Chain A
């Protein structure tokens, strides 16, 4: 996958001679490339494999839109000429005559991005940057910038989910850890049941709960909190994503917290209060510091899982709840822009590895427990 994200060799197998000649072109001296480049391009379009050319065209369109139609029109003209056996004397004039865009240097500059076997364009695309004519990195046009915003949103949602899970999970883990084993084993079922239930089932359940005519809105209307027209839109937006993801990831927070709290001796709190600390003080100074390993383990686990989440945001999130995972899936399945897919994936993987390393440092990877 990492190779795929920088791979640009496909197009090089289609236009090898053109690119060879292209590299000799001195951009300072001539405005347009020399005759040899036009000649090589002509020949490669005339005798190249049609399917391979088609694939290359898709790639060319990523760097500048308009390539596809330009090449298609040109190669039609070329094929016609070849059929009639009228090879032109001046290839440059012929191509410019076939389509005057060949006289536009901006297309030729864009070709410069493709002459090498490796490219970093997908990575730049993944953070809304692209190459300009001199191969400098610049911002994408305003209406094509989506990824930076999505990255930020993904991080934001993950952080929120982690915080919510911590707030909701801490008291519950505390209760479970301090109750006698008989009761806590019983209550543990409430935590483990969602953990074992299919992700899709939970997501569906949240859609049923949160939709406009759903259970929660129904109860609120019935209680008279809302009137019938004032039903809140809670699903297919960011709120829905947050609620559903918090519930889905909450067990991952409670379980590590629970296993840490279980072994904290209860006598510590009593001792602190005996020494004159108020309950709040004793909790803050004595109990909380001892739970930090659990909190960091749970927090990292939830954060790492949330950042790569795809199913729930895609189904519950609607249009503005889309996270980076949705884009990866979109490019893999729909646009078939696999270079960009791989680049987005590689960046996400980079993030993960950092957190994974942190997790290993703090908790140790061998300590992962299930159930």
Chain B
């Protein structure tokens, strides 16, 4: 949408102002994420750009990996600073986060896919109602979900257990799977199911041989959404988890509230990289799914 050659100077000014404004907004969106990366490599225990880091040519003294070593639990003398505590908490948190994330993703993906398959049948009764209930954990503020779950799980003795946290995360993550899988099922030709069944396939076999390969991109991106939801979740973990279920977000939360240190930024940098990886995967899957459906339409 370049400007036509006959545009007046005023139009040009407006156009460039508009482009500039958009550039500023893009900058506003990503600048904070980019700014933290260099600071995490700083020597200084304060979260600032030190003079050494800004100097040109770069001063190697000002850069270091000490906070990364601190993060992975290396508490040797040159790493430890008097203001920054050193512990294995970050690694424990990482293990727990992956553990909770992977299990709840697996459950949520299975449940969500089944729900989406059922909901996209043309004769499903009470479809809007079921859909609203399924999606509600996405819309209702987390703090309310957390409070409600806390009261409910307290009654059945699930608070402060891994089971409780995982179940809560499943409830949160399922809607994402439902939505993405439903979106892929929009272009799905239900005649193929009929064809498979008329050829003698049992429903289970139909699902694994016919339906699943076609909606796999949707299932995987739903699973990734589910994983990031669980991985990033802090409110429920805060209420429902004891010290045994320490996760990365909980540790970050505690870090920000108490001793704000560059170690948090190291973890933040790792998480930004993780999100870039996930984003790329989802984007590639989306294109693949579009291509698949494009072929089908022909």
Contacts and interface: CB of A to CB of B under 8 A. Distances in A.
A201 interface: yes
Contact of B256 (A178, A305, A315, A371): A315
A328 B143 contact: yes
A208 B35 contact: yes
Contact of B28 (A214, A247, A311): A247
B180 to A, nearest CB: 6
A369 B32 contact: no
Contacts of A349: 140, 144
A1 B151 contact: yes
A370 B176 contact: yes
A168 B28 contact: yes
Nearest to B221: A371
Interface residues of B, number: 70
A309 B253 contact: no
B30 interface: yes
Interface stretch (A15-23, A68-76, A140-148, A190-198): A190-198
Contact of B257 (A4, A304, A315): A315
B234 A200 contact: yes
B140 A308 contact: yes
A311 B234 CA distance: 8
A211 B260 CA distance: 12
A205 B151 contact: no
A219 B31 CA distance: 13
B87 interface: no
A200 B232 contact: yes
Given A307-B141, A310-B143, A371-B282, A208 B32 contact: yes
A203 B33 contact: no
Interface residues of A, number: 69
B131 interface: yes
Interface in B115-170: 128, 131-132, 135, 138-144, 146-148, 150-152
Q: Taking chain B's interface residues, is the majority helix, strand, or loop, or is none over half, making it mixed?
A: helix
B32 A247 contact: yes
Contact of B179 (A199, A341, A370): A370
A206 B141 CA distance: 22
Contacts of B179: 368-370
Contact of A308 (B49, B144, B252, B271): B144
B143 to A, nearest CB: 5
Nearest to A200: B252
Interface in B162-186: 176, 179-180, 182-183
Contacts of B271: 197-198, 201
A197 B271 CA distance: 7
Given A208-B39, A215-B49, A332 B239 contact: yes
B279 A196 contact: yes
A52 interface: no
B192 interface: no
Shortest beta-carbon contacts, A-B, top 10: A308-B141, A205-B32, A1-B148, A196-B275, A201-B268, A178-B1, A198-B232, A197-B275, A325-B143, A310-B143
Interface of A: 1, 4, 168-169, 171-172, 175, 178-179, 187, 189-194, 196-209, 211, 213-215, 218, 247, 250-251, 266, 279, 304-305, 307-311, 315, 325, 328-329, 332-333, 338, 341-342, 345, 348-349, 352, 356, 359-360, 365-366, 368-371
